[in-house]
Amino acid sequence: MSCSAVARKQDLPPPGGYKPIPFKRIPAKQFFSGYAMFAGYIGMTTGACYLYYLNYKQVKKHEIEMRSAKMAVYPMLLAERDREYLKQLRRNRDAEAELMKDVPGWEVGTYYGEKVYKLLPPDTLVEPIFHEYYAHTDPIAWYQRAYIKLVS
């Protein structure tokens, strides 16, 4: 049997031809009219504005309360910071006195009895530099203060 002996069926259109191709516009189903859409938009916007206003009032009230609390506590925090600063200066002075007690002619706050700052009045506070302030503290505390990182 050869290849030409096998009957082949040719693909032809169905009897009566193909259906016509639909090309006319089919409009979408309308659930709302234009007026209903505008009314819905205005209603939703009004409702959202009202809810936003309620939330805004609560947030603003909380902000005012927090600001008032900060203003009430702030002077006390400044006073505590200043007290700790003076305490550390006293600790530095006491540590210098203890460290140099065996050195003859050494006076605390001077360089072998000679004033370091000659033109300042006697009771003037000279703020030390960072390294002098932390000179007699734990190195870990110095490192943490020197390389402070705000971690969230």
Give the torsion through C-alpha atoms of 75, 79, 82, 84, to 10 deg. Answer: -130
Residues of the chain with pLDDT > 70, as a percent, come to 95
- Point out which residues pair with 114 in neighbouring strands: 111
What is residue 4's predicted lDDT score, i.e. its pLDDT?
60
DSSP H helices in the chain:
34-99, 130-133, 139-146
Contacts of residue 80, defined as CB under 8 A and 6 or more positions apart, other chains included, come to none
The predicted-structure confidence for 70-120, as pLDDT tens digits, reads as follows 999 999 999 999 999 999 999 999 999 999 999 888 888 888 888 887 788
pTM higher than 0.85: no
- Residues 58 and 69 sit within 8 Å (Cβ to Cβ): no
The predicted-structure confidence for 22-77, as pLDDT tens digits, reads as follows 888 888 888 999 999 999 999 999 999 999 999 999 999 999 999 999 999 999 99
What is residue 113's predicted lDDT score, i.e. its pLDDT?
81
Question: Where are the domains positioned within the chain?
Answer: 34-144
The pLDDT of residue 1 is above 70? no
Q: Which residue has the tokens 């939703």?
A: 44
**Residue 139 identity (one-letter amino acid):** P
